[in-house]
Structure 1
Amino acid sequence: MEPQYSPPGNSSNCSSDSNISHILFPLLYTFSFFVGIIMNGLALGVFFQISSKSNFIVFLKNTVIADILMILTFPFKILSDAKLVSWELRGFVCKVTQVTFYFTMYISIIFLGLITIDRYLKTARPFKSARINNVPAAKILSVLIWIFMFSLSLPNMILTDKKPTQENVKKCADLKSDSGLLWHEIVNYVCQFIFWVNFAIIIICYSLITQELYKSYKRTRCTGKANKKTVNIKVFIIIGVFFICFVPFHFARIPYTLSQTRDVFKCSTQNTLFYIKESTLWLTSLNACLDPFIYFALCNSFRKSLLKTLQKCVIRTKGNQNSEITTDEETPM
């Protein structure tokens, strides 16, 4: 949950209002919204047809739910940043949708870490991982993750309890009580901890996966069985999505937070850090657009169900077209 403090000293007069803030970022989030809602809507429909027969599928289903919730916050951010709505809606953005955005972001990060562990076990110990597959435990763990993150986020909504005015809605932190600011800071530390733990998990697991794939390559390069190796390479899509979407933001937010809490940067530097933070924050929204590629690349059940659904749609469309042509031919002149 990103802090939005008013910096002390002269920096409080530093404004970042510009066409970039009011035009470019809303356009980028509009792109993310339409692409994300289409792809995740389709993914959700496909997952409804797939039984939760493995830990992996359970984690994927939770990820798509988190992505859809994140996407539903985009229209509020778009309208608020573009200043297309009254300042009253900005209070709702600060209190609800902005908190939900970060809440779902860190849920996605946690599940990417769990998916990575699952893929490592599948790669390094394919037979043993099948035996330790425990779907009920995966479901319980998923519920606990949602409860934990919701418990962290709910006070951020409740403690944003000052009456919104045209002035204080410009910075969400101004709507928080002293207890709200303290809780906000605590949640920031917890979320940073969540990110760096999952960052370490992904780095370690992919280092081990790389070793396993190299060993597999050495064993199979002389036997003509390289196709299996090529399939396993797809697992690297997870680390690609993680580094594109989440790593830049968490490196950018450190100097940005310092610029907001310490009067040590010039106004131009503060604005530069603001745009970097907002740009990398948009990259986190791309996670909702890229996750469906993970489902398609790594989940055989998802891929088969999706292709079957698309084939049915094509056949139905062709059938309707043929029916219309036949009806036209039979219509008397």
Structure 2
Amino acid sequence: MIGLPTPQSTGLDNSTEAYTISPQRPSNNCELQDGILSVVLPISYSVICILGLLSNSVALWVFTLNYSSTKTSIIVYMRNLAIADFLLVLCLPLRIYYQNHPGPFLLCQTVGAFFYINMYASILFLGLISLDRFLKITKPLQIYWLHKVSCSITATRSVWLFLILGMLPFFFEKSKPGSCDGKCFHFKSKSVVGGTLNLLVVGIFFLLSLLFLNFYSKIAMKLKSMSIGKVQQNRKRVVIMKTFVVLAIFILCFLPYHIVRIPYVLSQLHIIQEQSSKQTLHIANELVLCLSALNSCLDPVIYFFLSNKFRKTIICTFEGKLKKVYTLNQRGTSFVRSVTEI
């Protein structure tokens, strides 16, 4: 009597079996390896996490403690930026642990979404800060709705709502099955819809980058055209250099990631099919993503160096001179110093 064939002897195509691999189960035959990432990423993310938690905790404490009576639009944007950076670094311990370990599919997806929501929140809040500075410096006699505290609060809430709603489609995205599905934060094949959405986000980022360049070029031109005494010429050059700190950090942290993102998504769509290219893009994508997370540590540096009030507030707070802190935050500022003042 001829027995029924077992599943192993049916000769079925392996793709059917691959499709049934659970996202929660590790895959031992992943063709793309982490290589140096298994060492570099845990160390880098650990350093960023520690520095980010400390610096952003101090920033939030200073904003809450010392600016409650002098709330302005720029304070609202900077406080939300600090919140976004703080929440982002909270994701890093899980990214560190699950970088080399399989994890529950829903947990990995949620942590990934949470990470990107806060990363793009940082980008948009830097954009709002730059727009606020641009309008106040180039057109100081006009008052725009963004300068009103109530409107700035509405703008920040809209950013959070937009990003949360915008991330929801990625939870329902059906990825193509692959040999690396068991790994939490790893190369995943994408559907056409998912890949298109990712490339659309990259395109929006580059449009925002062009706005950044436009803002800061016009700010620099405005400062250069100001007629001030020879004694203040050196200070004006310092102010111009400080103006470009935000732009420099923005480009350093976020531009490499979005440049690499284009070929990386194409490889996820299998438009780029060479295995060696996919391996290289996987390594490059994870490294530049780590660089983007570094922004959470650099934003408090922006507060410190661009805002004289923030810098003096921190120094006086740690020295216990709370009365002097209150006095400093009540003083007015001149137009030339408005670039570095909150």
Quote the residue 2:7 is aligned against.
none
Are 2:57 and 1:41 equivalent residues in the alignment?
yes
Tell me, what secondary structure is at the counterpart of 1:15?
coil
Tell me, what secondary structure is at the counterpart of 1:302?
helix
Tell me, what secondary structure is at the counterpart of 2:117?
helix
Are 2:194 and 1:169 equivalent residues in the alignment?
no
Paired AA for residue 53 in structure 2: I
CA RMSD of aligned residues (A): 3.1
Q: What CA distance in whole angstroms lies between the structure 2 residues aligned with 1:134 and 1:270? A: 48
Residues 253 and 232 of structure 1, relative CA distance in 2, 3 Å threshold: same
Q: What CA distance in whole angstroms lies between the structure 1 residues aligned with 2:281 and 2:109? A: 24
Percent same amino acid at aligned positions?
32
How many matched pairs?
A: 290
Residues 300 and 270 of structure 1, relative CA distance in 2, 3 Å threshold: same
Q: Which moved more, 1:137-146 or 1:259-268?
A: 259-268
Q: What CA distance in whole angstroms lies between the structure 2 residues aligned with 1:270 and 1:60? A: 38
Paired AA for residue 181 in structure 2: N
Superposed counterparts of 1:93-132, under 5 Å? 93-128=107-142
Moved over 6 A (4+): 171-176
Are 2:295 and 1:304 equivalent residues in the alignment?
no
Residues 152 and 263 of structure 1, relative CA distance in 2, 3 Å threshold: closer
Quote the residue 2:212 is aligned against.
202
Are 2:227 and 1:214 equivalent residues in the alignment?
no
- 1:231 is matched with which residue: 239, 244, 247? 239
Q: TM-score if structure 2 supplies the norm length?
A: 0.75
Quote the residue 1:29 is aligned against.
45
- 1:294 is matched with which residue: 290, 298, 302? 302
Paired AA for residue 252 in structure 1: V
Instruction: Indicate conservation of the 8 Å contact 1:113/1:202, yes or no.
Output: yes
Give the number of the structure with larger relative contact order, counting CA–CA contacts within 8 Å between residues 6 or more apart.
1
Instruction: Indicate conservation of the 8 Å contact 2:195/2:269, yes or no.
Output: no
Q: What CA distance in whole angstroms lies between the structure 2 residues aligned with 1:204 and 1:105? A: 22
Tell me, what secondary structure is at the counterpart of 1:170?
coil
- For structure 2, the residue ranges without an aligned partner over 5 or more in a row are 1-17, 19-28, 322-342
Instruction: Indicate conservation of the 8 Å contact 1:67/1:108, yes or no.
Output: yes
- For structure 1, the residue ranges without an aligned partner over 5 or more in a row are 1-5, 7-12, 314-333
Quote the residue 1:188 is aligned against.
198
Instruction: Indicate conservation of the 8 Å contact 1:55/1:133, yes or no.
Output: yes
Are 2:74 and 1:66 equivalent residues in the alignment?
no
Tell me, what secondary structure is at the counterpart of 1:126?
coil
Measure how far apart 1:307 and its partner are: 1.3
Quote the residue 2:6 is aligned against.
none
Q: What CA distance in whole angstroms lies between the structure 2 residues aligned with 1:151 and 1:264? A: 30
Q: What CA distance in whole angstroms lies between the structure 2 residues aligned with 1:118 and 1:63? A: 14
Are 2:266 and 1:273 equivalent residues in the alignment?
no
Q: Which moved more, 1:255-264 or 1:167-176?
A: 167-176
Instruction: Indicate conservation of the 8 Å contact 1:36/1:71, yes or no.
Output: yes
